[in-house]
Amino acid sequence: EDKVVQSPLSLVVHEGDTVTLNCSYEVTNFRSLLWYKQEKKAPTFLFMLTSSGIEKKSGRLSSILDKKELFSILNITATQTGDSAVYLCAVAGTSGSRLTFGEGTQLTVNP
Protein backbone atom coordinates (compact mmCIF):
# COMPACT_ATOMS: atom_id res chain seq x y z
CA GLU A 1 0.00 0.00 0.00
CA ASP A 2 1.28 3.45 -0.91
CA LYS A 3 2.26 5.63 2.04
CA VAL A 4 3.18 9.28 2.53
CA VAL A 5 4.59 10.73 5.75
CA GLN A 6 4.94 14.44 6.22
CA SER A 7 6.89 16.30 8.87
CA PRO A 8 6.55 18.32 10.90
CA LEU A 9 2.79 18.01 11.42
CA SER A 10 2.64 21.62 12.49
CA LEU A 11 4.95 24.58 12.41
CA VAL A 12 4.67 28.14 13.73
CA VAL A 13 7.02 30.78 12.38
CA HIS A 14 7.30 34.56 12.12
CA GLU A 15 6.92 36.52 8.94
CA GLY A 16 10.15 36.57 7.00
CA ASP A 17 11.34 33.18 8.21
CA THR A 18 12.28 30.41 5.80
CA VAL A 19 10.62 27.03 6.29
CA THR A 20 11.28 23.55 4.98
CA LEU A 21 8.52 20.98 4.86
CA ASN A 22 9.36 17.32 4.47
CA CYS A 23 7.65 14.49 2.68
CA SER A 24 8.80 10.88 2.55
CA TYR A 25 7.00 8.22 0.63
CA GLU A 26 6.65 4.57 -0.26
CA VAL A 27 4.90 3.85 -3.51
CA THR A 28 4.71 1.03 -6.00
CA ASN A 29 6.23 2.12 -9.30
CA PHE A 30 6.59 5.82 -8.55
CA ARG A 31 5.26 8.14 -11.20
CA SER A 32 4.98 11.57 -9.60
CA LEU A 33 4.92 13.54 -6.36
CA LEU A 34 2.65 16.54 -5.95
CA TRP A 35 2.41 19.37 -3.44
CA TYR A 36 -0.87 21.10 -2.65
CA LYS A 37 -1.80 24.04 -0.44
CA GLN A 38 -5.07 23.84 1.48
CA GLU A 39 -6.46 26.94 3.13
CA LYS A 40 -10.11 26.98 4.09
CA LYS A 41 -11.43 24.57 1.55
CA ALA A 42 -10.14 23.01 -1.66
CA PRO A 43 -6.51 21.98 -2.01
CA THR A 44 -4.80 23.99 -4.72
CA PHE A 45 -1.99 22.63 -6.81
CA LEU A 46 1.55 23.87 -6.26
CA PHE A 47 4.04 21.52 -7.92
CA MET A 48 4.35 18.18 -9.61
CA LEU A 49 7.75 16.49 -9.56
CA THR A 50 8.70 13.47 -11.58
CA SER A 51 12.46 13.67 -11.96
CA SER A 52 15.04 13.49 -9.24
CA GLY A 53 17.21 16.49 -8.48
CA ILE A 54 15.33 19.03 -10.57
CA GLU A 55 14.04 21.95 -8.56
CA LYS A 56 10.67 23.43 -9.33
CA LYS A 57 10.20 27.07 -8.38
CA SER A 58 7.29 29.44 -8.17
CA GLY A 59 8.05 32.75 -6.55
CA ARG A 60 9.06 32.15 -2.96
CA LEU A 61 8.17 28.47 -3.10
CA SER A 62 10.42 25.74 -4.39
CA SER A 63 10.48 21.97 -4.24
CA ILE A 64 12.87 19.19 -5.05
CA LEU A 65 12.59 15.44 -5.25
CA ASP A 66 15.09 12.75 -4.30
CA LYS A 67 13.92 9.48 -5.84
CA LYS A 68 16.80 7.52 -4.41
CA GLU A 69 16.04 8.50 -0.82
CA LEU A 70 12.27 8.63 -1.45
CA PHE A 71 11.60 12.12 -0.19
CA SER A 72 10.78 15.62 -1.23
CA ILE A 73 11.05 19.00 0.44
CA LEU A 74 9.03 22.14 -0.01
CA ASN A 75 10.80 25.38 0.82
CA ILE A 76 9.11 28.68 1.45
CA THR A 77 11.35 31.72 1.80
CA ALA A 78 10.43 35.10 3.28
CA THR A 79 7.17 33.69 4.64
CA GLN A 80 4.06 35.86 4.76
CA THR A 81 0.87 35.50 6.79
CA GLY A 82 -0.87 34.47 3.59
CA ASP A 83 1.30 31.36 3.49
CA SER A 84 -0.56 30.04 6.54
CA ALA A 85 -2.23 26.84 5.37
CA VAL A 86 -1.99 23.09 5.40
CA TYR A 87 0.56 21.84 2.89
CA LEU A 88 -0.21 18.43 1.47
CA CYS A 89 2.15 16.03 -0.22
CA ALA A 90 0.79 13.28 -2.46
CA VAL A 91 2.25 10.53 -4.60
CA ALA A 92 1.04 8.64 -7.62
CA GLY A 93 2.28 5.26 -8.73
CA THR A 94 1.90 3.68 -12.12
CA SER A 95 -0.14 0.88 -10.57
CA GLY A 96 -3.01 3.29 -10.15
CA SER A 97 -3.79 6.80 -11.10
CA ARG A 98 -5.07 7.97 -7.74
CA LEU A 99 -3.08 10.19 -5.42
CA THR A 100 -2.18 9.04 -1.92
CA PHE A 101 -1.94 12.00 0.43
CA GLY A 102 0.03 12.57 3.59
CA GLU A 103 -1.60 14.09 6.68
CA GLY A 104 -0.26 17.49 5.84
CA THR A 105 1.83 20.11 7.61
CA GLN A 106 -0.12 22.91 9.27
CA LEU A 107 1.96 26.06 8.77
CA THR A 108 1.12 29.16 10.77
CA VAL A 109 2.94 32.39 9.95
CA ASN A 110 2.59 35.06 12.60
CA PRO A 111 3.09 38.75 11.87
Partner 1 sequence: DSGVTQTPKHLITATGQRVTLRCSPRSGDLSVYWYQQSLDQGLQFLIQYYNGEERAKGNILERFSAQQFPDLHSELNLSSLELGDSALYFCASSVALAGELFFGEGSRLTVL
Q: Which residues would be at the binding site for partner 1 (CB under 8 A)? A: 31-32, 34, 36, 41-45, 48, 88, 90, 92, 96-104
Greatest distance between any 2 Cα atoms in the chain: 44
Q: Please report how close the Cβ of residue 39 comes to partner 1 at its closest, in angstroms.
A: 11
4, 24, 51, 65, 97 from 28: Cα distances, Å: 12, 14, 16, 16, 11
Cβ nearer to partner 1, comparing 11 with 17: 11
Give the sign of the dihedral formed by CA 80, CA 51, CA 1, CA 69.
Answer: negative
HSE-CB at 26 with a 13 A cutoff on CA atoms is: 4
Cβ nearer to partner 1, comparing 16 with 96: 96
Q: Please report how close the Cβ of residue 44 comes to partner 1 at its closest, in angstroms.
A: 7
Cβ nearer to partner 1, comparing 45 with 59: 45
Q: Is residue 93 a contact partner of residue 31, using CB atoms and an 8 Å limit?
A: yes
Q: Please report how close the Cβ of residue 41 comes to partner 1 at its closest, in angstroms.
A: 5
Cβ nearer to partner 1, comparing 79 with 105: 105
